[in-house]
Amino acid sequence: MDDLLQADDADLLAYVSDEESALTGRESFLVRAASEVVRDYCGWHIAPNISGTYDKLTIGSGGIIMLPSGFVTDVSSVTINSPGGDAVLDPVTDYDWFRQGFIEAKSPLWRYGYGAVYGPYKAGLATVSMTHGYTTCPLAVKSVIFELMEAADLENSGNVKSVQSASFRVQWGPLSGVSMTPSQVDRLSKYKIGGLI
């Protein structure tokens, strides 16, 4: 999968240094590590816009299929997986897809159990081919990545935040350079995928 932030991203290069035109090996590692923390929290790749096929997606109540995405730009096919044979759905008559990352049944045939693996009225499975993700990483996500990079860089130089003399006092910094703060979690909340069912 492509990196969440590309090495030639103008904002990334400006953040690292106004004078550099490429990332050092250390900076490349920090941006990848911070990006993975963000992706793991959000539950999907976020950027760039990619196409793929995703199988074993649960058909929930009301014929809703939650997609592993928070920004869908196209759904090219939906197939209901059934012991009696797979059924390719018609995008005009059988379902609607929504940019927020879900598909909803129009047809009562599969909404109420058609293709269900364990019989009627129980969850069935679907395979979905779709295109999803932002073309470029959103600025709010970039800012969290930059903050995590900076925290990881400070963490690497030690946990000591300040030292005082006379009676000797040590103040410790954050325990992990790649842990998100409540503020960062809050800013990423609109990019986190979740359930509707």
Q: Which pTM does this prediction carry?
A: 0.75
Evaluate if residue 115 carries a pLDDT over 50. Answer: no
Confidence (pLDDT) at 37: 92
Q: What is the pLDDT of residue 62?
A: 76
Say how far apart CA 97 and CA 95 lie, in whole Å. Answer: 7
Q: What is the pLDDT of residues 138-152, one digit of tens each?
A: 999 999 999 998 887
- Whole-number Å distance between alpha carbons of 128 and 110: 15
Which one has a higher pLDDT value, 171 or 12?
12
Q: Sorting pLDDT into bands at 50, 70 and 90, what band is 179?
A: confident
